[in-house]
Amino acid sequence: MAIASKVETELKEQIKKYVSLDNYIKQEYARLAEYRNQKKTLENNIMHLIKTHEIPNVEITLPDGYLQCVEKETHSPLNQTFLKNAFVSYFSEKTSNLIKATQEAEELLDFVLKQRETRKERGLRRVSRRKKPGMQ
């Protein structure tokens, strides 16, 4: 058997295993997504009951710990739109000229975006063929 043939056979075997694992992972993600949805629905129902009946300081003992009703603060994500609006607002306070404030905000946003580190990574990506409408 030629070396090229051995490599080809090994490559085919590796690809078969890769696709098989990829299919399995997709199935498991779908199952996990369903579990998360069920959990979220139950959480919403529990929180509704706690709020409706004004139950204070909820702490339920579990075999491995406890379940506690907590309130947490979260922040909206930092995205380009948010940053631009914040920069415009900041520069608008510094100057009465909205056009100048907008220009300075855009310059600062461009500067910030250019400072981000860019990495290139090589890897495999599976692309599924899309079926044409009406075809099975």
Residue 53 belongs to some domain of the structure:
yes
Do 29 and 86 have their domain in common? Answer: no
Q: Is the pLDDT of residue 1 over 80?
A: no
The total domain count for the chain is: 2
Residue 21 belongs to some domain of the structure:
yes
Residue 125 belongs to some domain of the structure:
no
Reported residue count of the chain is 136
Q: Please give the backbone phi and psi of residue 111, each rounded to the nearest 5 degrees, phi first.
A: -60, -45
| Residue numbers of the domain that contains 101 | 80-114
Rounded CA separation 75/102 (Å): 24
pLDDT score of 136: 58
Do 17 and 64 have their domain in common? Answer: yes
Which residue type occupies 11? L
38: its two tokens? 């069920």
Give 45's pLDDT tier (boundaries 50, 70, 90).
very high
pLDDT score of 135: 61
Rounded CA separation 102/108 (Å): 10
Which residue type occupies 29? Y
Residue 131 belongs to some domain of the structure:
no
